[in-house]
Structure 1
Amino acid sequence: MHPAPSVIFFTVFSGIGFGLLTFLGLGFPAVTGWTAFAFFVIAYLAAVGGLISSTFHLGHPERALKAFTQWRSSWLSREGWCAVIALITMGLYGLGLVFFDQRWTLLGLIGSVFSVLTVFTTSMIYTQLKTIPRWNSPLTPVMFLSYSLAAGALLSGQEPWAIILLLIAGVAQIILWAQGDGALARSGTTLATATGLGPRGDVRAFEPPHTGTNYLLKEFAFTVGRKHSQKVRIISIVLMAGVPILLLLPPFSHGLIALAVASHVAGALASRWLFFAEAEHVVGLYYGKR
């Protein structure tokens, strides 16, 4: 698929924001007053900024509110509901910490649960797509959740948890890449199965479906060279997990934590670009792109 900047920004930064809200809801770090206010500002800027950026990729952003009516069948709608509940609940929880020096534990726990559910529902938007075999894997939610929680642990200063979650994110990402490389072939989807003409013999395209480009080619037939892909994978895994883990091993330092967060975000952006760039939508079979 064509890696749209708005969707990359959305999936990375909303994950970071809700990851931090998860830890804040659980009481990490145990802050109140204006210190708590600063943490909540960072979390809300990332979470809400990411959610807003996702609308830039919609054909009709003004219709976004209608998505809330489809919660029975749409993961996008469920994501919207979970996000709203998480943001409202954590907002109330934050008011208690900032202005009343009170930790309303139940609100925090509910907010943390819905923050995690928001990231999970986001991941399921992609996981459910059988038309993109690379994404159609149980590891896709694991990858999204581990990235989000690792970022939350980093930003909340929970170094031991951050190291563990970064390791999980790195392993999940590497396995997902390895599994995804052969996913389209293993799915058994070919031009013959797509047209239903397989029993008649070898099937090939006589000529292109049309002479010009179209939306499908722009969005779903993006290709990235294998050599380029391998370089981006190495860069992303080193920046996302390797460098932050090394920076977290020495004694606590605000400067090192800041560098670890910056490195993780850069690696996550590179990895998420690859997530979309390497997606092999089966519609590409009709255009000779697979």
Structure 2
Amino acid sequence: MHPAPSLLIFTTLSGAGLGFLFFLGLGMPAPTGWVAFGYFALAYALAAGGLSASVFHLGHPERALKAFTQWRSSWLSREAWAAVATLTVMALYGAGLVFFGTRLAPLGWLGAALALATVVTTSMIYTQMKAVPRWHTPLTPALFLTIALAGGALFAGESGAARVLLIVALVLQLAWWVRGDRRFAESGTDLGTATGLGDRGRVHSFEPPHTGPNYLLREMVFVVGRRHAMRLRFAAVILMAILPLVLLLPAFGKIGAALAALVHLSGVAVSRWLFFAEAEHVVGLYYGAR
């Protein structure tokens, strides 16, 4: 699928911001006063900034509020409600730390749980899509959650937790790629099943259904070369996990920890680009692209 910039910003920044809010909600750390203001300002800039970017991918951004009305059937709508609940609860929790120097632990725990719930709803927007076999796997929400927590731990300065989560995220990312490369073939979907003519023999495409570009070709039939993809995977692994683990070594101190968070974020952006670029939508069968 076409890796739109709005989706890259959305999935990269919001995950890190929500992971950051998760650790703040657990009191890891639990600053007060202006220090707390700085922590929460950064977390909200990441979370709210990323979530806001998703609006620009809508065909009619002015209708974004309608997303809240379909919560019974739409993961996008559930994500919207979960995000608003998270930001509201964490704002109240943060106000206690900033203005009163008081940590309302139950409120923080609720905010942390809501932050994780928001990440899950975001991942389920993609996981539930059977038309994209690469996404339709339990590894997708597991990967989203782990990467969000790893980024949150880095921004929260929780180096111990970050090391463990980075390693887990690395393993899950590699497993997701290995599994994903086989998903389309294992789904059993081909031009025969897509057209319903498979019982008559092998089906071939005589001509493309359109003589020129259209929305489906632009958005759903993006193809990335395997050699190019492998190079980007290598870059994602280095930037997302390996280099941050090196920068977290005691020899690099606080500067290394700060750089680790930024480097990790750049690696997640590369991973997210591949997440969309390598997603083989079954509609591509009609255009001979699968």
Q: Offset at 1:69?
A: 1.1
Give the equivalent residue in structure 1 for 2:36.
36
Give the equivalent residue in structure 2 for 1:101.
101
Query: Residues 41-79 of structure 1, C-alpha deviation per residue, up to 9 Å, x if partnerless?
Result: 000011111011001111011111111111111100110
Structure 1 stretches of 4+ with a deviation exceeding 6 A read none
Q: Offset at 1:251?
A: 5.0
Give the equivalent residue in structure 1 for 2:22.
22
Q: Offset at 1:194?
A: 0.7
Which deviates more from structure 2 when the two are superposed, residues 248-257 or residues 23-32? 248-257
Counterpart residue type for residue 277 of structure 1: A
For residues 2 and 245 of structure 2, what CA distance do their matches in structure 1 show?
31
For residues 190 and 26 of structure 2, what CA distance do their matches in structure 1 show?
48
Give the equivalent residue in structure 2 for 1:242.
242
Give the equivalent residue in structure 2 for 1:184.
184
**Is 2:117 the counterpart of 1:139?**
no
Give the equivalent residue in structure 2 for 1:129.
129
1:152-163 matches, cutoff 5 A? 152-163=152-163
Question: Is the contact between residue 33 and residue 98 of structure 2 (CA under 8 Å) also seen in structure 1?
Answer: yes
Partner-residue secondary structure (3-state), 1:137: coil
Q: Offset at 1:218?
A: 0.2
Counterpart residue type for residue 199 of structure 1: D
For residues 285 and 122 of structure 1, what CA distance do their matches in structure 2 show?
27
Question: Is the contact between residue 79 and residue 122 of structure 2 (CA under 8 Å) also seen in structure 1?
Answer: yes
Query: Residues 70-118 of structure 1, C-alpha deviation per residue, up to 9 Å, x if partnerless?
Result: 1111100110111000000000000000000000011100000000100
Query: Residues 131-160 of structure 1, C-alpha deviation per residue, up to 9 Å, x if partnerless?
Result: 000000100001111111001100111111
For residues 191 and 263 of structure 2, what CA distance do their matches in structure 1 show?
42
Question: Is the contact between residue 30 and residue 103 of structure 2 (CA under 8 Å) also seen in structure 1?
Answer: no
Q: What's the TM-score, normalizing by structure 1?
A: 0.99
For residues 104 and 178 of structure 2, what CA distance do their matches in structure 1 show?
44
Q: Offset at 1:201?
A: 1.3
Q: Offset at 1:249?
A: 2.1
Counterpart residue type for residue 241 of structure 1: A
For residues 252 and 225 of structure 1, what CA distance do their matches in structure 2 show?
37
Q: Offset at 1:252?
A: 6.9
Give the equivalent residue in structure 2 for 1:72.
72
Query: Residues 242-261 of structure 1, C-alpha deviation per residue, up to 9 Å, x if partnerless?
Result: 00111112257221111101
Where structure 1 has 5 or more consecutive residues not aligned to the other structure, the ranges are none
For residues 64 and 238 of structure 1, what CA distance do their matches in structure 2 show?
36
Counterpart residue type for residue 10 of structure 1: F
For residues 38 and 252 of structure 1, what CA distance do their matches in structure 2 show?
23
Q: Offset at 1:200?
A: 1.0
1:139-288 matches, cutoff 5 A? 139-250=139-250, 253-288=253-288
1:40-119 matches, cutoff 5 A? 40-119=40-119
For residues 252 and 267 of structure 2, what CA distance do their matches in structure 1 show?
22
Query: Residues 165-199 of structure 1, C-alpha deviation per residue, up to 9 Å, x if partnerless?
Result: 00111100000000000110000000000111111
Counterpart residue type for residue 289 of structure 1: A
Aligned Cα root-mean-square deviation (Å): 0.8
Where structure 2 has 5 or more consecutive residues not aligned to the other structure, the ranges are none
Q: What's the TM-score, normalizing by structure 2?
A: 0.99
Counterpart residue type for residue 32 of structure 1: T
Q: Offset at 1:206?
A: 1.2
Task: Calculate percent identity across the aligned residue pairs.
Answer: 60
For residues 49 and 262 of structure 1, what CA distance do their matches in structure 2 show?
16
For residues 131 and 173 of structure 1, what CA distance do their matches in structure 2 show?
21
For residues 187 and 73 of structure 1, what CA distance do their matches in structure 2 show?
24
